Chains A and B, each alone.
Chain A
Amino acid sequence: MELAPHDPGSKLLRPDEPELDLYTIPSHSSWFSWDEIHETERIALKEYFDGSSISRTPKTYKEYRDFIVSKYREDPSRKLTFTEVRKSLVGDVSLLHKVFNFLEKWGLINFSANLGVNGGFGIEGEERSKVKVEDGVPNGIRVAAMPNSIKPILPISAPPKAGDAGGGVVNRITLAPLASYSDVFGGLKKEEGLVCGNCGGHCETGHYKYSKGDFLICIKCFENGNYGENKLRDDFKLNEAIEKSGTNGVEWTESETLLLLESVLKHGDDWEFVAQNVQTKTKFDCIAKLIDLPFGELVLGSAYRKGNPSSFSGNLISSERIQLSSSECQDTVETNGQLHEQTDDCKQNGDILDQDPPLKRQRIASLSDASSSLIKQVAAITTMVGPHITSAAAEAAVNALCEETSCSREIFNADDDSIPNGLWSPAKNCETERVHGEDSEMKERPTQSESRHAIFKKDDIPPTLQIRAAIGTALGAAAAHAKLLADQEDRQIEHLMATIIGTQMKKLHSKLKHFEDLELIRKKECAQIEEVEDILVEERMNILQRTFDSGVPRWRDHPSLKS
């Protein structure tokens, strides 16, 4: 946007102020000048400049243009219409319309009005940008519902929010309730939230989904028996708003979380009881929160252990390792009991699991799965690198945390004091475990649990710190692993480069050889040609010799050639 260069009397005013001697035109129309006709105009409106008609001359065009532009500038905030202009101009309306559209397209007229920069005449501009909503389909047209658009149009035409009535300046675009609306905007609408097809209310807690089409009703309607037309109760499936409350960000206080964990331990997956215990939260919130918690699946895993023990304990072992190597225990006091159970479980499964290579792969594969819990990821990452690296990463992470706040330093230092080698011994343990390998697995277990017990006794490191330390460790380990990978990649690249260069050399060599062969062939052919030449010369000599010998006089040859 720039100021028109042809306004000599313009003062420096804000461009949106409806001042008569200053106008705003788009910068791409800066070619415009009152005094001449620009090339753009000549190209766009050829008929005025080819001299084909008396009614279409550059002069007429300029008059049209100047009139329309100055007419618009009488009041730039208002949208100038073609119908308004044409009554004042003599000439073919079609051509006038073309000129008008040209000027409008380039923003020479109706520019400020289009932008909605309204002075005192805002209402008119608003009216123009508003889409007309028809009351219904025109007479004689019946809109038949398409089978896949059973979703009612009711929510679309739902009354606008109360705020709109007051702020009339807002350019609200309402869409006409056409039958195809749900087809077109169905996907968009879903994002706004689930809306009950019967009562139009939002399905906050959950909804019943109609299995034979895109239709849902809220729980209230379902219980009241309002299923909508031609729909049976059996076709509805309950969809609880689990994912919703998760994203909704229900606020959980520390005490509530603790309460939740306690009750989960007590009641297992009997969520009704859990919710009763927590009191302040609903069943779905509890489930969502537990899933959101970093060790949520761990707890769940113990709950479901009977169902599929091997896969869950696989995760348990890995998470256990990280706990050991980083000298931290992820679980708060409440989950201790749970953990002991797990340890037992691991002892049972330990041998089988560690001898089972596919499981390890499974752990690594879980990395790519973003939904798996944090600790699982940490565990998976740390298993990828050696124990040395893990311990170093843990050390670095704890150090960094210590530097961050003095309170954490105190906590960690307290650990140091109370447990000899508090921070390092588990790492070493882990290391030795790695060194000894599978054979010593059984022997190692007691040491681990011992150290764990030691930690647990003194355990008052807040869970947030633990988690942060774990994250730090994981990041460190991941970085180390990445470094290793990068190094390996480098080596591979070098190797490949060497191979490529070797191949190229081979290629060059073979080419050279080929050229040499060609050279040889050429030389041979040269020699042959020379030989042939010699022979030819000889033959010629022979022939000449013979003619001289036969003694035919030369002069008789010439006339015979001529005739």
Chain B
Amino acid sequence: MKGQASSSYKGAVKFRMPTAQNLVPIRLDLDVDGQKFKDTFTWNPSDPDSEIVVFARRTAKDLKLPPGFITVMASAIQSQIADFRSLEGQDMYPGERIVPIKLDLRVNHTLIRDQFLWDLNNFESDPEEFAKTFCADLGIQDPEVGPAIAFSIREQLYEIAVQSVASARENRISKKGRRGAEYTPVSKAGSTGLDLVKLFGHKSSVVRKRKEWDVYEPIVDLLSSEEVDALQAKEERLTR
């Protein structure tokens, strides 16, 4: 049992954001007395919880929201942080995981579609830095795009990390049931994982085939105001 654990759980890590900075993505979608408030930002879970109320109060004041928002906002943040904390201390995925991250978002007038790979084991990765490079390289001027991209990456990474905790737990249970099965294929660890042997094996090249380039190429569209309005109306209809 001892040897088995050390071999199969090699590389297993305690749960955290798989990025350099352990920042939790927080998404707010509040509705108080018919007034709607949507926002996304990141939160450092090691900050004291007393900061949350301060933050909520401050936000409400800055944006001139009615005071009813303060408690709602604080509790929403609090619950999302609590979700994150409940997972802390548990094991994450065993082995290596490289996942595709897909961007499909609209920020004001900018529409962004992109796809790339992200290593969940690379704890030096920095979504904010990536987003900054992205905007600089593509000449995006809207200052809100960068944070939105970084947030989208963080949200996806967070989701995958949460899933992997669940699957790691499952693995452990199943292994308790049937000893002997020491090797669990990587693909089983999560449906989104890639076959690394196929990608990085000796036979294949890390340079993509030319026809795939378009798939992994970022697409940035600048929309006109009418298009934005149309899209917004469509989105609202969908949410209802």
**Shortest distance between the CB of A317 and any CB in chain B (Å):** 73
Interface size of B in residues (CB-CB distance below 8 Å):
36
Interface 0/1 of B44-63, CB less than 8 Å to A: 00000000000000000000
Across the interface, name the chain A residue whose C-beta is closest to B123.
Answer: A94
Whether B196 lies near A55 (C-beta < 8 A) is yes
B26-34, B177-185, B200-208: which lies at the A interface? B200-208
Q: Among the interface residues B118, B137, B196, which one has the most CB atoms of the partner chain A within 10 A?
A: B137
B138 at the interface (CB under 8 A from A): yes
Q: Does B98 contact A (CB under 8 A)?
A: yes
How far apart are A277's CB and chain B's nearest CB, in angstroms?
A: 62
- Does B199 touch A at the CB level, under 8 Å? yes
Is the beta-carbon distance between B119 and A87 smaller than 8 angstroms? no
**Partner-A contacts on B (CB < 8 A):** 96, 98, 101, 116-119, 121-122, 124-126, 129-130, 133-134, 136-138, 141, 143, 196-197, 199-202, 205-208, 213-214, 216-218
B125 touches A86 (CB 8 A): no
Q: Contacts A63-B205, A84-B137, A91-B98 given: A57-B122 contact, CB under 8 Å?
A: no
CA distance A88 to B214 in the complex (A): 9
Q: How far is the CB of A421 from chain B (nearest CB, A)?
A: 84
Q: How would residues 259 to 283 of chain A score, 1 for a CB under 8 Å from any chain B CB and 0 otherwise? A: 0000000000000000000000000
Residues of A with C-beta under 8 A to B129 = 97
As a 0/1 sequence over residues 32 to 68 of chain A, the CB contacts with chain B under 8 angstroms (1 = contact) are 0000000000000001000001110101100110010
Hey, which chain A residues are within 8 Å of B122, CB to CB? 47, 92, 94-95
- CB-based contact A54/B117 at 8 Å: no
A91→B121 CA distance, assembly (Å) = 12
Name the B residues within 8 Å of A552 (CB-CB).
none
Contact of B138 with A55 in the complex, beta carbons under 8 Å: no
Task: Find out whether the CB atom of A138 lies under 8 angstroms from the CB atom of B143.
Answer: yes
Known A90-B206, A94-B126; 19 more pairs at CB < 8 Å: A47-B122, A54-B200, A63-B206, A67-B206, A67-B207, A81-B138, A84-B137, A87-B213, A87-B214, A90-B200, A91-B119, A91-B199, A91-B200, A94-B118, A94-B119, A94-B124, A95-B122, A95-B125, A98-B124
Interface residues of A in 73-88 (CB under 8 A from B): 81-84, 86-88
Residues of B within 8 A of A64 (CB): 206
Please count how many residues in chain A sit with their CB below 8 Å of the partner chain's CB atoms. 28
A199 interface hit (Cβ, 8 Å) = no
- Contact of A88 with B138 in the complex, beta carbons under 8 Å: no
Closest CB-CB distance, B152 to chain A, in whole Å? 14
Measured CB to CB, the residues of A under 8 A from B are 47, 53-55, 57, 59-60, 63-64, 67, 81-84, 86-95, 97-98, 132, 138
Contact B207 A82 (CB under 8 A): no
- Contact B98–A87 (Cβ < 8 Å): no
Question: In the bound complex, do residue A81 and residue B200 qualify as a contact, i.e. CB atoms below 8 Å apart?
Answer: no
Partner among B121, B138, B197, B208 whose Cβ is within 8 Å of the Cβ of A90 = B208
Shortest beta-carbon distance, A253 to chain B, in Å? 57
Q: Give Cα A341 to B124, complex, Å.
A: 87
Q: Shortest Cβ distance from B147 into chain A, in angstroms?
A: 12
Q: List 21 A-B contacts (CB under 8 A).
A: A47-B122, A53-B96, A54-B201, A55-B199, A57-B200, A81-B136, A81-B137, A82-B137, A83-B138, A88-B213, A89-B206, A90-B208, A91-B206, A92-B117, A92-B122, A92-B125, A93-B117, A93-B125, A94-B122, A94-B125, A97-B133
Name the residue on B nearest A92 (C-beta).
Answer: B119
Q: Is the CB of A132 within 8 A of B196?
A: no
CB distance from B22 to the nearest CB of A (A): 15
A89, B133: Cβ atoms under 8 Å? no
Known A54-B196, A59-B202, A89-B207; judge A132-B96 contact (CB<8 A).
no
Question: Shortest Cβ distance from A114 into chain B, in angstroms?
Answer: 14
